[in-house]
Amino acid sequence: MQNDSPLSQEIAIVTGGSRGIGFAIARRLGQLGAQVALCARSGEAVERAAAALRGEGIRALGSAADVSAADSVRRFVARVREAIGDTSILVNNAGVGLFRPAHEIEEAEWDRVLDTNLKGAYLMSREVAPQMIRQKRGHIIHIASLAGKNTFAGGAAYCASKWGLRGLAGAMGEDLRSYGIRVSVVCPGTVHTEFSPHAGKDPQRMLQPDDVAHVVEMLLRQAPGSFVSEVDLRPTQKP
């Protein structure tokens, strides 16, 4: 990558980066010059993703990490810092979905969704924030969902996690803005990925992972004197 690329001085972490939205975001950041560190639960899958990015000339590191476990997060962030330096961009994208009426969800299933989608973003942000504070700059982007604003049948755990993520993002933005750290949340509608099959919907009318990556690029390239706190992203035509 050229040193005059927009993000050539940046080190970015993307959680859930082995496929779908996370992989598209990591690729976009790498194309803009950032060094990118990906994590996912599967070490094999995330290393394949990092290798694919390296094959495109992107500086990429892949490592297994469970964002819902503090020790795993701590080890991953330490590895990134040792290998490539302090993180200046964090994209909290890792997420799981479980869609069933609230009264039918088992406690362990509820915990898995909330621990991944909400607690994971908190743990990862908590770990990198001190690095950003020392640098007096940084950007944390949470990938939430329009399900964090609009409830639907069977969405109890997922909606709760995404509503919570929007609340976390807003409060973090106030906590960190005085240090020059910008916090944003992106709320996409239906995205065509392996995450959910969306039976009966036309994939060509859905959002694509690159659409979300484009919004992340837009947020990062915002003039330094301001930041966009929240973006709603919808397909032009309803799927």
Percentage above 70 pLDDT, the chain: 96
**Cβ–Cβ < 8 Å for 170, 227:** no
Q: What does the pLDDT read at residue 3?
A: 59
Residue 162 lies in a domain: yes
**Cβ–Cβ < 8 Å for 211, 222:** no
Residue 161 lies in a domain: yes
Type of residue at 210 = D
Q: What does the pLDDT read at residue 224?
A: 86
Question: The CATH number of the domain where 149 resides is what?
Answer: 3.40.50.720
Place of tokens 């469970």: 66
The length of the chain, given as a count of residues: 239
Phi, psi values for residue 2, rounded to 5°: -75, 145
| Segment 96-155, tens digit of pLDDT | 999 999 999 999 999 999 999 999 999 999 999 999 999 999 999 999 999 999 999 999
Active-site pick, 158, 161, 168, 187:
158
| Segment 41-52, tens digit of pLDDT | 999 999 999 999
Q: DSSP string covering 103-171, please?
A: GG--HHHHHHHHIIIIIHHHHHHHHHHHHHHHHT-EEEEEE--GGGTS--TT-HHHHHHHHHHHHHHHH
Residue 3 lies in a domain: no
Residue 1 lies in a domain: no
Type of residue at 20 = G
pLDDT at 1 over 70: no
Stated pTM of the model = 0.94
Please state the domain count of the chain: 1
Q: Which value, to the nearest 10 degrees, does the dihedral of the CA atoms of residues 31, 34, 37, 38 take?
A: -30
Using alpha carbons, list the distances in angstroms from residue 63 to 13, 16, 18, 82, 141: 11, 11, 10, 13, 20
Residue 198 lies in a domain: yes
Catalytic (active site) residue 179: no
Sheet containing strand 35-40, strands side by side? 60-64, 35-40, 11-15, 89-92, 138-143, 181-188, 230-233
Residue 118, token pair as written in the block:
């909400």
Q: What does the pLDDT read at residue 199?
A: 62
Structural domain including 165 reads: 11-231
pLDDT at 64 over 60: yes
pLDDT at 77 over 70: yes
Residue 71 lies in a domain: yes
pLDDT at 18 over 70: yes
Going by C-alpha positions, the residue among 141, 129, 144, 131 that lies closest to residue 229 is: 141
Average pLDDT score over the chain: 94
Residue 91 lies in a domain: yes
Helix, strand, coil tally for the chain in percent (to 5): 45, 15, 35
| Segment 151-209, tens digit of pLDDT | 999 999 999 999 999 999 999 999 999 999 999 999 999 897 776 556 667 777 889 99
Q: What does the pLDDT read at residue 237?
A: 83
Rounded-to-integer distance, Cα 124 and Cα 112, Å:
16
Q: CA angle, corner 130, sides to 124 and 133, nearest 5?
A: 125
pLDDT at 70 over 70: yes
